[in-house]
Amino acid sequence: MRKAMVLFACLFVATAWASESGGHGEGNEPSVPDYILHHVADTNDFELEVPLSHPIHLGAIPPIRIGSCAPVMTDHGLQAPTGWPGLMAGCLDLSITKHTVMMWLAALLLIGTILIWSNRDKTKMVPRGTGANLIEMLVLFIRDEMAIKNIGKEDGPRYVPYLLTAFFFILFMNLLGLVPWMATATGNLAVTAGLALCTFFVTQAAGIRSAGLGGYLKHLTGGVHWTLWIIMVPVEILGLISKPFALTMRLFANMLAGHIVLFFLIGLIFILGHPAVAAVSVPFAFAIYLLELFVAFVQAYVFTLLSALFIGMAVATGHHHDDHGHADDHGHGHSELGPSHDHGKAHA
Amino acid sequence: MVEQEPPKKVASDGSELGSMARHMRAAEPYVSAVWKLVGGAVVGVLGGYWLDKKLGTAPWLLLGLSLLGICVGFYGFLREMARLGKRK
């Protein structure tokens, strides 16, 4: 632990030093906020900041566009339309960006780590080794404390694979963002929105599975007369969207804010313009860095917990409908409980 | 066979749920009722504003849909409350 702390401290000082030495040679160096915002933003350019040298640009990857996408005249000249009008014109920008690369890296690391750690000696009952025990602890925690406590004993184990995937993927992305030269993919609104969208679809599927399509659609109408559906259906749909929206903003804001605080503490050295400031700001930044390490786990935990809670509420809504005469669907759920539960155990 | 049935029913009564899940589930119908009240007005006003802009009928659709939204919101809310009262 002490070695790791010394290593992280060295990396911070090296990064700060690199930023300082990189900035001296240029006449029009960017201001600290510009520099920070550039670093937390998603770009097509993957920069490697090497201590004592200028940043290495891995080169921009040209945008991939689908459809005709005719350029239009803007204030900055002839450009491809962006945003919703761009999408309508067929300009779906599927460029590979810094955060996309980080997501791939997180996914690869996740698959590798889990494969290695879960590959235990099947002939022995008790798994051995730090990795296997760590994975077992986390998987059991998510199954017993999140899935079963929020969704229920019967339906909970069915959603454990999704919850595990979400937890570990977010955790790996959060932790990769804390490695020097890497970027935080979860500090990107598009990434967190995508993750929340996955939870949204799983939640709706859980609701449909539990209540049946008829019960689910009936719930969407808010139980009012059909002439009032034109108002009530949008209201209910907005209500459904509000939960994944909260998930999106929470993860995004927490990850982004932590990194900005971290950057600004280091940036104080350059704002105040004296190397002695480093004596204060670097230890502070290091403390925030340790806090961020904790936040990486907490945010992955919170996202998974809330996903489980939302799935549980959707399942409960279905059970409520069952009370009014959809007992067949309920019975169907019972019959599939056994294998799903066993699968969770085998995986653990 | 007969003896195996009761534990399944015990498991489905929600006793294994955590306190947060239990409280959220208990609060959910009330939160949903309140959202109907607020959401009706929101959808009415925003829908009316958007349609007015699109059709150039300002301010009539805004006024009409706002009133309709508020009424439907109140109706949905009171209906839900009556249903919840009956359940108790």
Shortest distance, CA B44 to any CA of chain A (angstroms): 7
Selected residue with higher pLDDT from A60 and A209:
A209
Q: Residue A11: is its pLDDT beyond 90?
A: no
A-B CB pairs within 8 A amount to: 82
pLDDT value, residue A113? 92
CA A281 to chain centre: 29
Q: Could you tell me what percentage of chain B is helix, strand and coil, using 3-state DSSP and rounding each to the nearest 5?
A: 80, 0, 20
Burial classification of residue A89, based on how many CB atoms lie within 10 Å of its CB (0-12 exposed, 13-18 middle, 19 or more buried): middle
Q: Which of B8, B21, B44 sits opposite A309 (nearest CB)?
A: B21
pLDDT value, residue A139? 93
- A42 token code pair: 């998603």
Q: Dump strand ranges (E) for chain A.
A: 47-48, 56-57, 65-66, 72-74, 77-79, 92-93
Using one digit for the tens of pLDDT, what is the confidence trace for A295-343? 999 999 999 999 999 999 999 887 765 554 444 434 343 333 334 444 4
Cβ–Cβ below 8 Å for B25 and A234? no
CB < 8 Å to B24, chain A: 309, 312-313
Maximum pairwise Cα distance, chain A: 76
Q: Residue A172: is its pLDDT beyond 60?
A: yes
pLDDT value, residue A101? 86
Best residue in B5, B13, B25 to probe A by mutation, most A CBs within 10 Å? B25
What's the rounded mean pLDDT across residues A276-280? 91
Shortest distance, CA A306 to any CA of chain B (angstroms): 10
**Which residues, 6+ apart, have CB-to-CB distance to A246 below 8 Å?**
A306
Q: Report the number of secondary-structure helices (H) and strands (E) in chain A.
A: 12, 6
Q: Which residues in chain B land under pLDDT 70?
A: 1-14, 88
If you write DSSP's letter for every residue of A176-234 in order, what string do you get? HTTSTT---GGGSHHHHHHHHHHHHHHHHHHHHHHHHHHHHHHHHTTT--GGGHHHHHH
Give Rg (Cα) of chain B. 21
Using one digit for the tens of pLDDT, what is the confidence trace for A23-82? 444 456 668 888 788 778 887 767 766 666 666 565 555 556 666 666 777 776 677 666
Region of poorest pLDDT, from A6-15, A26-35, A153-162, A186-195: A6-15
Report the amino acid identity of residue A191: V
CB < 8 Å to A151, chain B: 21
Best residue in B5, B10, B12 to probe A by mutation, most A CBs within 10 Å? B12
Distances in Å between the alpha carbon of A303 and those of A248, A299, A313, A344? 9, 6, 15, 20
Collapsed DSSP state (helix, strand, coil) of residue A77: strand
ipTM comes to 0.76
Q: What rounded mean pLDDT belongs to chain A?
A: 79
Using one digit for the tens of pLDDT, what is the confidence trace for A101-137? 899 999 999 999 998 888 777 777 777 788 888 888 9
CB < 8 Å to B8, chain A: 154, 334
With CA atoms as reference, report the closest residue to A344 among A163, A180, A108, A215. A163
What's the rounded mean pLDDT across residues A216-244? 86
Q: Which of A224, A235, A312 sits opposite B43 (nearest CB)?
A: A235
pLDDT value, residue A339? 40
pLDDT value, residue A312? 92
Sign of the CA dihedral running A17, A20, A26, A32: positive
Q: Is the peptide bond before A180 cis (omega within 30 degrees of 0)?
A: no
Cβ–Cβ below 8 Å for A149 and B17? yes
The share of chain A scoring above pLDDT 90, in percent, equals 36
Q: Are A207 and A164 in contact (CB under 8 A)?
A: no
Q: Assign 3-class secondary structure to A149-183.
A: HHHCCCCHHHHHHHHHHHHHHHHHHHHHCCCCCCC
Q: Residue A151: is its pLDDT beyond 50?
A: yes
pLDDT value, residue A309? 93
Q: Are A43 and A62 in contact (CB under 8 A)?
A: no
pLDDT value, residue A327? 40
Place of tokens 């249903």: B83
Selected residue with higher pLDDT from A17 and A289:
A289
With CA atoms as reference, report the closest residue to A260 among A32, A31, A6. A32
